[in-house]
Amino acid sequence: MSQSTFDVLVAIGVLSWLSIQVFFNLGGVSGIIPLTGVPLPFMSYGGSSILALSCGLGFVLAGGEANEKAD
């Protein structure tokens, strides 16, 4: 399976983005770090957050689909 470097970097970026948001949110709720107001991905209320996360996951899925068709 051949993957382009760009698609891999997009996937790493989106995964990092989600991981950092989850860390900040759960760390704030548990009292490890101060609360920052970062929404929990796909769980918290917020239209712009869910729209941006959906677009990010769409980019990752589109890259994976393009790689499958290229093989």
Residue 41 burial class via C-beta count within 10 angstroms: exposed 0-12, middle 13-18, buried 19 and up: buried
- Amino acid identity for residue 34 in this structure: P
Q: Look up the pTM and report it.
A: 0.80
Residue 25 burial class via C-beta count within 10 angstroms: exposed 0-12, middle 13-18, buried 19 and up: buried
How far apart, in whole angstroms, are the C-alpha atoms of residue 12 and residue 6?
10
Q: Which domain, by its residues, includes 55?
A: 5-70
Q: How many domains are there within the chain?
A: 1
Going residue by residue through the chain (71 aa), what tens digit of pLDDT does each one get?
557 889 899 999 999 999 998 898 889 889 898 887 778 887 777 788 888 999 999 999 998 888 777 76
- List of residues 6+ apart from 39 with CB closer than 8 A: 21, 25, 45, 46, 49
